Structure 1
């Protein structure tokens, strides 16, 4: 379920931020994203930083540690973590600010090749030891063959367009709360479902995925199993949170899985 976003930074949090940044000249609270209670662009005389945070007792506070652990390994495709503060009942992360729009996933978008480039760079990053959660474990409730998803790659896994910012002619990936270890073709597979949701046919979505080298090494059996498991994941999400976007994602996942099944049958 999405985390409730605060519309104003509490005074004790602002005080924590200003001990690191100096006096804030302007605070822009941001609405995008589902995992943080606080998400704001803080402008100071010296710089602008992006700060996100959760109460120390929040059930998802572990995502703050996950992002802090992963960040040193992804600075080629993600904003750099500047500092972390754990005080006054809050866990805060401050990143380099990225000023750019969210990626457009619709057919014909000039952002699509930029996402391909970022995903290609990421696919070569080996998951560090601090990333303990792997895709077989994450998907074991949704498939009888989770071992097909094993691998050593660092995966982002959360390809909602608000996690992809376009700036300076490149795509920058934010919100690494759901980073995991697994087969490198899984990120392109997850992206394909988002592309279907945004107007691509399943075949068109897979054609974009095929521009990422790791996709072309994926065993057909593994991708088919992952497509079926992804339907199960979105069924669970939509059942607990039947918002229009989750239902759209369930429809997209089913269309992709049906396409995989039909393609396999056609090949005989």
Structure 2
């Protein structure tokens, strides 16, 4: 059984025409290469069916074979270029993301809300690891970017996620801090381990949330030494928002954020 989006999928129930797409879901930043044997075992598909699907993906350059291993092919490069042409917010933001990485020396990421998931659409790696890979998704409560998207999300989403939380108290406290400081704090339990992320909101004209812009430190930073990086993050989010027509006062407050960090759940 595999998970596609938020659904558990039984391989025998997958129509033949969908099987190539099903196999693509196994190629992630953490497992970018697969052999036929391993993919057959993981997917639950018969070996012959798996091989036929892989050959279809090879034909259209969506997979490339190197020896006995498969990885994503050049077709996805063209797709990414197409998406960027039709993704004005990210196009506006890219120069600011690069400047933020240069200014802080940290990994920088851009994440958007996709249903109840955080979807990372751009990641600029710095030393010490990244919060996610491009195209990776996770539940909104599992990292700072997701909780930022939740904090400024729709009322229906917020009610659904709070109701699904076993212990609302810690999540509501993080939510209050995020909405007050316009910076989303990390938790030790965030994924992936070893990387500490803080996110800031990006808005378009009218105040609609567009994305979460984040920086990530390798390990746990010394917060008293991180204020400049937090201000740089907030400033970058403000500049991107202004270029997209946001004209309201900017409420990012790094000083308040640092004051309350010690009181947050651990």
Rg (Cα) greater in structure = 2
TM-score, length basis structure 1: 0.35
TM-score by length of 2: 0.35
